[in-house]
Structure 1
């Protein structure tokens, strides 16, 4: 093998990689927050006594979970303009990631809610707690605590899925790497560094989510 490794051209483009990493980070953060809110709403609809709400939630969840993420990206970016809704690449990326993530989060949160025993809810009501506080402290928070590791895994997977939105020229990390590769023709070096950056981002996201979990969802200690 006479290939000569040269990482210098890649490191010289560190600013472009840094901008891409930052874009990946804030796209993921926005999609995580919006996906958690929408997923919680879907959970409430999925468990509602009204049949129409349950059917809508189930239909949405099944459609999202059983179609490829890349197809969803293309549908949002290339398909919606036919209906008069035109989004730029970053807006389409955030919307698609939010919709995709919310369907998985809905099922994760639902499993957590179903782990709460009815007796706990009845006990809260017997103590005179308002309905909002019952669902906030006795249902929602313990449910999130129970499924928090699964939520963290889903969030990190979603962050890694941002690499697919480069297909619509969303200027995130993978798109930046493709630009560098086109300029330098150093594919091995570019994608080796890209993989290392994604690994570092995964560890940082994992650490941040662990700190959030310890702050808000850990059991009190004496």
Structure 2
């Protein structure tokens, strides 16, 4: 007997899907902005900070990059409360995404810093700038220009990886798909719809980040 497709449930459950999309977008914005900020600070620590801080950040980066995101999420949501740190599922999801993206973006940004010509450091030093001023005013922006496409791709990967936050009952898009299929028993249709939404979100996020890059780095656009 041929499988009969039925998407009639969309009329009833579209508010659930919209809420899931909203939560996924919110997690991505918060995790992306704060995570990149953390990555910048960590890249500075590894390249310009004191040795003890660079070593500490290196341990953090290696720990996060070599463990599954789901384990990190479970540690934050289930492990930290055992140590007395209580938080809700959305807070835990945001924190996990920030910590994860911070480690990956640190290495991406550090690659851009390492590709910066030494003459820029010397030019800043000749103007009596402090190491912090040289980093923020002379080195960081050109480095971000170089690695913006790679950094944008990492943000998209983190957005797609946010699907696992449904495992701690954060009401994202995957949570919505699971909820719908448990009520309608139309798993194929529910996950097809959620897959298409994730695809559209990924494409839209890439376009937004590309536009942000052209806005933040106008000289990059002029060069191309």
Query: TM-score scaled to structure 1, two decimals?
Result: 0.94
Deviations 1:197-220 (A, max 9, x none): 000100111111011000112316
CA RMSD of aligned residues (A): 1.6
Q: What displacement does 1:11 show?
A: 4.2
Matched, 1:48 2:48: yes
Kept in 1: contact 2:24–2:173 (CA 8 A) = yes
Deviations 1:14-60 (A, max 9, x none): 11101110110011100111111111111111123522111101100
Query: TM-score scaled to structure 2, two decimals?
Result: 0.93
Q: What displacement does 1:117 show?
A: 1.2
1:14 alignment partner in structure 2? 14
d(CA) in 2 for partners of 1:11 and 1:106? 44
d(CA) in 1 for partners of 2:156 and 2:106? 16
1:213 alignment partner in structure 2? 213
1:63 alignment partner in structure 2? 63
Structure 2's unaligned 5+ residue stretches are: none
Alignment of 1:169-184 (within 5 A): 169-184=169-184
Kept in 2: contact 1:10–1:180 (CA 8 A) = no
1:189 alignment partner in structure 2? 189
Q: What displacement does 1:125 show?
A: 3.7
d(CA) in 2 for partners of 1:214 and 1:6? 43
Q: What displacement does 1:138 show?
A: 2.4
Kept in 2: contact 1:32–1:155 (CA 8 A) = yes
Q: Aligned residues, how many?
A: 221
Kept in 2: contact 1:28–1:159 (CA 8 A) = yes
1:23 alignment partner in structure 2? 23
d(CA) in 1 for partners of 2:122 and 2:48? 18
